[in-house]
Amino acid sequence: MIYNWIILICAIMVLIYVGYLSKKHTSHLEGNSSFLVGGNKVGVFVGALSILATGYSGWGFIGSPGMAYRYGGIEVLGNLFFAPAMVLGAFLAATVLKKKNAEYASYTVPEFVAAIHPGNEAAKKSIQFIAAAVTIVLLLVYLMGQVRAVSLVASAWLKVPPLAASIILMAVLVIFTAQGGLLAVARTDMLMCVGMLLSSLVIGWIIFSDVSLKEMVANLSAQNEVLMNPPTSEPYGGGKYSVYLIFAYAFLFTTTLPYMNARFLSFEKEIKPHILAVIMAPAALILSIVPLAGLYMRMKSPSLQNSDSAMPLFLEYYVPAGIAGLINLFILFAMLSTISSVLHAIASSAAYDLRKSCGAKLTHNKLINTLAVLAAAAGGVIMTFYAPPMMLNQIAIIGTGGLISLLAGPIFVHFFLPCGVWAALLSMIAGLGSNILFTAVLKFGWVEAPIAASLAGSAVYLLAGFWESKFISAKAKTP
């Protein structure tokens, strides 16, 4: 246990030092640029690994092996779809957003969405306000789930109560996020991703030094043929190939979620998207090895009561103690890298977008940014441990899928067919509204709902854009 504390304290010192260095590298910049976009100093290597670290949360290390244990190979395939979707999404977003943002120089995703749609100034402010407000509400609830997961893992690892574990780790995140802004978040994400990649390689090495892929398939098929040759994509849908929908979901997730695509606004001006893809592709495939630990545990111990214990038990029984301690740290890193990006997205929306869209003067930025990070972290911890679960469950059902469908039309469709400000505003309302309908009323799954709602939002974007262009051109022609 003391060994775990020692490596955690060393890791915390490194993370805070990276935050301090990032602050030093951007301290000469005026205004909000350093906090919101890291002074556009995020390079291709840091950017690539940071996107992966943020996208692959603790789910990949704990939840996904548990699902693979329970449902078999379909989870390995489902998790793998994040690799091509994130690479393709990042390549496309880095190519298009780089060009667009060279023109608009936005600091945040809500501001970017408002800036790229020409039209009425009040409607632009409404877009920025709605995008920021929905980001804050939905990401705070998402943050709560992440804080709960990290507190459980850290409390078991450090032998302290969950509340104490979450306060220690959130304090570290607040320190480096508040002092170094997005550059600190991206750089610490990069370090955490290196740890996650090493863990994945160790997990793969331990599994494949014991059993080949064909032997694993044969063994699991002998247990239950459905595990490796499922007739449906359960739990991802009733059709045999419904699992392919995860590709569409992960693509939208990468290109539209503010805590993911804020990265693209922070890239250096001379970044090369194809180099980004070359770094991300093999790294994403390496991270996709992890769920195989769930299949390995199913092969070795087919009667576990709780499938979520597959990874903890794998580390306990099949990984040498010292290395298992390090992998546990890197699992915490996987969760923390996502939390730091979410914290930054919430703080940016609260400290910058809400103030700007309400016409407030943007003064005392450093103090307000720090207070916003602190408030977001405190809000996450308080909601996790003290808020009434019924109220939060209602919002959690909408989830990050609500944000995806809110922004899919104005960001993703705009890449191909740019429309005006009213189209963006109507699309946002239609996307979010249909997501609420699909999840809360029609009980769609977490993969199907945002895809269907994004399609609805995108259709409204195109229809309203067509109407807007007709209306505006007709009005313009009127003498």
Partner 1 sequence: MFTGSWVIDHCIGVSVLLLIFTALVYVKGEAGGGK
Least Å from the CB of residue 74 to partner 1: 6
Should residue 55 be labelled a site residue for partner 1 when binding is judged by CB under 8 A? no
* Alpha-carbon distances, residue 310 vs 5, 212, 290, 415 (angstroms): 24, 19, 11, 42
Q: What are phi and psi of 253, to 5 degrees?
A: -55, -45
For tokens 């709902």, the residue is 449
Binding mask 87-106 for partner 1 (x = CB under 8 A): xx--x---------------
Q: Which of 310, 380, 311 is nearest to 344 (CA)?
A: 380
**Whether 306 contacts 96, CB under 8 Å:** no
3-state helix, strand, coil in the chain (%, to 5): 80, 0, 20
Of the candidate residues 25, 70, 148, 272, the single one contacting partner 1 (CB under 8 A): 272
Question: Which residues fall within 8 angstroms of residue 192, CB to CB, at 6 or more apart?
Answer: 53, 330, 333, 334, 336, 337
Binding mask 18-37 for partner 1 (x = CB under 8 A): --------------------
Q: What are phi and psi of 61, to 5 degrees?
A: -95, -30
Retrieve residue 381's tokens.
Answer: 């911890």
- Between 288 and 340, whose beta carbon lies closer to partner 1? 288
Of the candidate residues 76, 109, 113, 354, the single one contacting partner 1 (CB under 8 A): 76
Piece of the chain touching partner 1 by CB under 8 A; list 114-122, 269-277, 373-381, 462-470: 269-277
Should residue 285 be labelled a site residue for partner 1 when binding is judged by CB under 8 A? yes
Q: Is the dihedral of CA 398, 425, 347, 413 positive or negative?
A: positive
Least Å from the CB of residue 232 to partner 1: 12
Should residue 226 be labelled a site residue for partner 1 when binding is judged by CB under 8 A? no
Q: Could you give the dihedral angle defined by the CA atoms of residues 122, 126, 127 and 130, in that order, rounded to the nearest 10 degrees?
A: 170
Q: What are phi and psi of 236, to 5 degrees?
A: -105, 15
Should residue 80 be labelled a site residue for partner 1 when binding is judged by CB under 8 A? yes
What angle is formed at CA 59 by the lines to CA 53 and CA 60, rounded to 5 degrees?
Answer: 65
- Between 93 and 182, whose beta carbon lies closer to partner 1? 93
Contacts of partner 1 in 287-316 (CB under 8 A)? 288
Should residue 218 be labelled a site residue for partner 1 when binding is judged by CB under 8 A? yes
Should residue 387 be labelled a site residue for partner 1 when binding is judged by CB under 8 A? no
User: Could you say which DSSP state residue 309 is in?
Assistant: G
Least Å from the CB of residue 333 to partner 1: 24
Task: Return the H-helix or E-strand segment holding 181.
Answer: helix 162-208
**Whether 8 contacts 329, CB under 8 Å:** yes
Give residue 410's identity as a one-letter amino acid code.
P
Least Å from the CB of residue 278 to partner 1: 5
Least Å from the CB of residue 242 to partner 1: 12
Should residue 112 be labelled a site residue for partner 1 when binding is judged by CB under 8 A? no
How many chain residues are in contact with partner 1, going by CB under 8 A? Answer: 31
Of the candidate residues 55, 72, 402, 431, the single one contacting partner 1 (CB under 8 A): 72
Of the candidate residues 18, 62, 77, 327, the single one contacting partner 1 (CB under 8 A): 77
Least Å from the CB of residue 418 to partner 1: 22
CA atoms within a 13 Å half-sphere pointing along the CA-CB vector of 287? 37
Of the candidate residues 194, 275, 395, 463, the single one contacting partner 1 (CB under 8 A): 275
Give the integer Cα–Cα distance in Å for 458 and 443: 21
Least Å from the CB of residue 71 to partner 1: 10
Of the candidate residues 229, 232, 301, 309, the single one contacting partner 1 (CB under 8 A): 229
- Between 182 and 279, whose beta carbon lies closer to partner 1? 279
Give the integer Cα–Cα distance in Å for 67 and 182: 33
- Between 81 and 107, whose beta carbon lies closer to partner 1? 81
Least Å from the CB of residue 216 to partner 1: 9
Q: Can you give the binding site for partner 1, defined by CB under 8 A?
A: 72-74, 76-77, 80-81, 83-84, 87-88, 91, 213-214, 217-218, 221, 228-230, 272-275, 277-278, 281-282, 284-285, 288
